[in-house]
Amino acid sequence: MVSRIYTNATVATLSDKLSKPYGLLEQSAVVVIQDRIDWVGKSKNLPQTYQNFPREDLGGKLITPALIDCHTHLVYGGSRAKEFEMRLEGASYEEIAKAGGGILSTVTATRNTSEEELINSALPRLDALLAEGVCVVEIKSGYGLSIEDELKMLRAARKLETLRDVKIKTTYLAAHAIPPEYKKNSDSYIDEVVLPGLTQAAEEGLVDAVDAFCEGIAFSPDQVDKVFQRATALGIPVKLHAEQLSNLKGTELAARYQALSADHLEYLDLDGVKAMKEAGTVAVLLPGAFYTLRETKLPPIEDLRSEGVPIALATDCNPGSSPIMSLLLIMNMACTLFRLTPEEALNGVTKNAAKALGLGHEKGTIEAGKDANFLIWDITHPAELAYQAGFNPLFKVVRGEFE
Ligand code: DI6
Ligand code: FE
C-alpha cells in the first residue's frame, strides 16, 4: 500500500467544517493513502495507526488544494496581437467583432490549423498554467464553428491530457460566434451545425459540458435555450457566458437548466443572482477579460456574497479578451480589481472552481476522502498567493503517486 504523511505543514484545508479563515491548520499533517487523503489534522493528534507511514517534513511550508482553471479557451489557432494594437488605437471590442475581426479571425486561423498543430500551440500555454500548480483545466471549443472543426478542437483538448499530468474537462461551445457563412442566418447555424455537432461530439464522448455565448453580438436567449434543450436531452450539464457586455437575462435561463456555472457576469442583476442561488449555479468571474477589455462595470460581488452564491475565478485564457496564462495573477486581479478577499480568491481557484466543473465531491479542499492532489508552497500564509504578482512560490505538486 502506497502511503505518506506530510508533517510540519500549515494546511489551508478550505474545509467548510472549520471555522477559521482558509480552514487553516498550523503544525499539522496530511496523511495520504494511494490516491486519497485519509486524514488531516494537528500533528499532535496523528492517530497511532499511521505512525509507521513514511514521512515528509515540510518545515512549516503551506499546503493548499491543487489549482483548477475552470474556464479557458486554451486551444486555438493564430494570434491576435494585431487586434491588441487596433484596440490601443481606439477600436472597441464590439467594433472589431463587427468588422470581421475578433473571434472570427481566430476562427479562420483555427480552421486552417491541424489537430496536431493545435495541440503543439496549446502546450506552452498549458505548461504555463501547470507551472503554477494548476491540475485541472477546462477547455472549450468555439473557434471551429463547423462540425468538423469543433470536433477537431475537442479532440485536441482531450489529447493534451495524454501529454501532461493534468485532468482536462472539455466544453462544447459551438454557439460562441456566428460564422461568416451563416452571417444573416444564425437560426440555421444553430439547427444545421450547433445541434447536430453536439450530438456527434457527445456520441464520440468528447463533451463534458455545453456552453454558449449569450450576447447581442452572439446568440439570443431563445437560441441558447434550444442548445440547452439538446444538451439536457443528451444528459450533459450546461454553463453559460452570460451578462458579459449587457444584460440579456442569460443567467436566469442558465439557472432554469441548473447550470454548473454562469460566467463573466459584469452586467448581472439581483434577479439573476437569486436565480443562481436557487439553482446552485456557481458564479465564475473572469477578471482577466475585465482587465483586458478595460471594462468598468464591476460584477455584483456584494449581491453574490450576501445571497451566498459560490464565486469561482478562471483565466478565460483566450487570444482576444484574456491572453493570460497565470491563475495566480488572476487571483491578484480579483482582489485588486473586484475587491475579493485573498481567501475568496483562493476558494475561487480551488473549491468553487471544482464545483463549477461538477468535481466538488472529489477535488478542491484538503479533507479526508478527497483526491490526494494538492500543492506545497514555499510560503507560510495563503494570503501571499493573491498578494504578490509575477511570483511563483510553488514548491511541489502532490498527486497521490509517490516517487
Ligand atoms: N467572451 C469572451 O470574453 C471570449 N469569448 C466570449 O464569449 C472572447 C473570445 C475571443 O475574443 O476570442
Ligand atoms: Fe470565455
CB 102 less than 6 A from any atom of ligand 1: yes
Distance 320 CA to ligand 1 centre (A): 6
Distance 166 CA to ligand 2 centre (A): 20
How close is the Cα of 268 to the center of ligand 1, in Å?
17
- 200, three cell numbers: 456527434
Cα separation, 169 vs 193, whole angstroms: 22
352 alpha carbon to ligand 1 midpoint, in Å? 22
For residue 309, the tally of other CB atoms under 10 A from its CB is: 25
- Closest among 189, 238, 248, 188 to 212, alpha carbons compared: 238
* Residue 9: per-residue pLDDT: 98
152: Cβ below 6 Å to ligand 1? no
Ligand 2 centre to CA of 225 (Å) is: 19
Long-range contact set of residues 302-305: C-beta below 8 Å, sequence gap at least 24 = 303/268, 303/270, 303/273, 304/273, 304/276
Pairing state between β 374-377 and 62-65: antiparallel
* Phi, psi for residue 309 in degrees, rounded to 5: -85, 125
Nearest bound ligand to the CA of residue 215: 1
Give the CA diameter of the chain: 71
Q: Which residues of the chain have pLDDT under 70?
A: 1, 100, 401-403
pLDDT reported for residue 101: 75
Contact 12, 18 (CB under 8 A): no
Distance CA 121, CA 161 (A): 15
Nearest CA to ligand 1 atom 11: 320
Check if 239 has its Cβ closer than 6 Å to any atom of ligand 1. Answer: no
What local confidence, expressed as pLDDT, does residue 188 receive?
A: 98
Whole-number pLDDT of residue 272: 98
Helix (H) or strand (E) holding 375: strand 374-377
Round to the nearest angstrom and report the end-to-end CA distance of the chain: 14
pLDDT at residue number 236: 98
According to the model, what pLDDT value does residue 96 have?
A: 81
Cβ of 213 closer than 6 Å to ligand 1, yes or no, is yes
The set of cell numbers assigned to 32 is 495520504
- The pTM (predicted TM-score) of the whole model is 0.97
Measured from the alpha carbon of residue 244, the closest ligand is 1
What's the pLDDT score for residue 128? 98
